[in-house]
Amino acid sequence: MLILQTQGKKVAVNHLIPVVQGQLTKLNWKHIKLMPQTTMSVKRAVTVCSLDVALDILKGPLPAEDTVGTHTYLKQCHKLFQIFNKKSEVDPTCYKQLPSIMIWFDNWYGEMKQNIWRAASGLKDHWKQFIPHITYKDLK
């Protein structure tokens, strides 16, 4: 099983297990143990990528340095959800966060492109360490 990776830090589902077990957030097994017939809905993604979950990862039993990639990824996604999924009028200052969020994703993409020549496991497996290309394209 390949794991997303950015700046040498893993973004892994197993970092969420202590959060589910701690039962301090709305996150539960249905959010991380998806079945083949189950799809990741926006509602599930918002729950997984919440600030509460990101902060709970740091309080868990896993060392913070091991989970920093997952924590950072969840925080970046949370910011995007906050900006684009507001039911009320969005504060224009929120839009100022978009360039820094995109820079983070662009740096990750650039890192993956730069490391292609090091991909001993094959090009296809190398890109599995990044979010799906269609998701990245949609972000852009």
Tally of domains within the chain: 1
User: Picking from 48-52, 78-82, 125-129, which range would have the lowest pLDDT averaged per residue?
Assistant: 125-129
Mean pLDDT of 82-100: 76
What burial letters (b/e) apply to 99-112, b meaning 16+ CB within 10 Å? eebeebbeebbeeb
Which of 2-11, 72-81, 123-132 holds the top average pLDDT?
Answer: 72-81
What local confidence, expressed as pLDDT, does residue 131 receive?
Answer: 81
What local confidence, expressed as pLDDT, does residue 1 receive?
Answer: 47
Q: Name the average pLDDT for the chain.
A: 80
Domain residues for 40? 4-139
pTM summary value = 0.78
What burial letters (b/e) apply to 39-58, b meaning 16+ CB within 10 Å? eeeeebeebbbbeebbebbe
User: pLDDT band at 90, cuts 50/70/90?
Assistant: low
Between CA 117 and CA 13 the distance in angstroms is 27
What local confidence, expressed as pLDDT, does residue 121 receive?
Answer: 58
Between CA 116 and CA 59 the distance in angstroms is 35
Collapsing DSSP to helix, strand or coil, 6 comes out as strand
